[in-house]
Amino acid sequence: MMNPRTRRALAAAAVLAFLAAWVWATIELGGRLPDNPWLQLLFYGIAGIGWGVPVIPLLRWAERGPRRK
């Protein structure tokens, strides 16, 4: 069983790695979009909000207390 400090450190490293991959993928895919400002606005708007969806459960896990039996 992990102590809270270790769990938070692991979660922080995972969030940083995930965000680096998310930014790289967003830039890579955004560069392949057609030159349409509305499409780019939609894509970057969704990408800017979408990173939080997978991060929220990870942060909840990091802040969770010990399991009760």
- Whether the CA torsion 11, 13, 15, 21 is positive or negative: it is negative
Q: What's the pLDDT band for 64 if we cut at 50, 70, 90?
A: confident
pTM summary value = 0.83
Mean pLDDT of 8-13: 94
So what's the pLDDT on residue 69?
63
Provide CB contacts within 8 A for 19, sequence distance 6+: 51, 55
Distances (CA, A) of 18 to 1, 2, 14, 52: 24, 21, 6, 11
Domain ranges of the chain: 4-63
pLDDT of residue 4: 87
Q: Residue type at 55?
A: V
**Contact indicator for 61, 7 with CB cutoff of 8 Å:** yes
Q: What is the pLDDT of residues 11-55, one digit of tens each?
A: 999 999 999 999 999 999 999 999 999 999 999 999 999 999 999
Are the C-beta atoms of 54 and 18 separated by less than 8 Å? yes
